[in-house]
Chain A
Amino acid sequence: EDKVVQSPLSLVVHEGDTVTLNCSYEVTNFRSLLWYKQEKKAPTFLFMLTSSGIEKKSGRLSSILDKKELSSILNITATQTGDSAIYLCAVEGRNDMRFGAGTRLTVKP
């Protein structure tokens, strides 16, 4: 059965720290892996990684896809309180999307 597992489930850090969030997957006919940030309501898109685009960076956030290990990491450097959110990993198979349970990140001042 297809599954997506994220770790850790929750993380508490202080401003300025660097964090690494993990996502591993077992999905039939892998197409892409997406990272979302969810604050109070709907998820908002961060990155999409595919076989042809295994590394993405935007400001303090970056992500890498390891197709051999069937996993991805999301790095956030110099964390800020505004980074506090749930970070969701989703993996697209042939036609559907499987989400992990998310990592709840809390950044303390």
Chain B
Amino acid sequence: NAGVTQTPKFRILKIGQSMTLQCTQDMNHNYMYWYRQDPGMGLKLIYYSVGAGITDKGEVPNGYNVSRSTTEDFPLRLELAAPSQTSVYFCASSDRTGIYEQYFGPGTRLTVT
């Protein structure tokens, strides 16, 4: 089982560029989440999805977009990157029928300069 995979692991963007962070899970989980973690801080929820075709905003959604066309994939789109989006991004998934534990991907370290 691969669990939750994220690509890329690292990326440097210039201000104003766009990119998509990929997230895939193979556990057939309905719930998926995108978080960002700034240095010395906890995780902040950007967007989440309760199932294919359904997405909703979290605590810090501005500057991001998501889509959920399949159960497995939950890409995060950054439009017009800004230095404030420099962070580590984690994708997670959970099975709401059980213990609600979130399984995290390895993270993507993004720098915007």
Chain A residues with CB under 8 Å of chain B are 4, 6, 31-32, 34, 41-45, 48, 88, 90, 92, 95-102
Contacts and interface: CB of A to CB of B under 8 A. Distances in A.
B59 to A, nearest CB: 7
A34 B42 contact: no
B44 A99 contact: yes
A96 B58 contact: yes
Given A42-B105, A95-B56, A96-B48, A48 B100 contact: yes
Contacts of A92: 100
B74 interface: no
A99 B42 CA distance: 6
Interface of B: 33, 35, 40-45, 48, 50, 56, 58-59, 90, 99-107
A43 B41 contact: no
A36 B102 CA distance: 10
Question: Interface on chain A toward B: helix, strand, loop, or mixed SS?
Answer: strand
Most chain A beta-carbon neighbours within 10 Å: one of B48, B100, B107 = B100
Nearest to B4: A42
Nearest to B58: A96
Given A100-B42, A101-B42, A102-B41, 18 more contacts: A32-B100, A34-B101, A41-B106, A42-B104, A42-B105, A43-B90, A45-B102, A48-B100, A48-B101, A90-B42, A96-B48, A96-B58, A97-B48, A98-B45, A99-B35, A99-B43, A101-B40, A102-B42
A4 B99 CA distance: 21
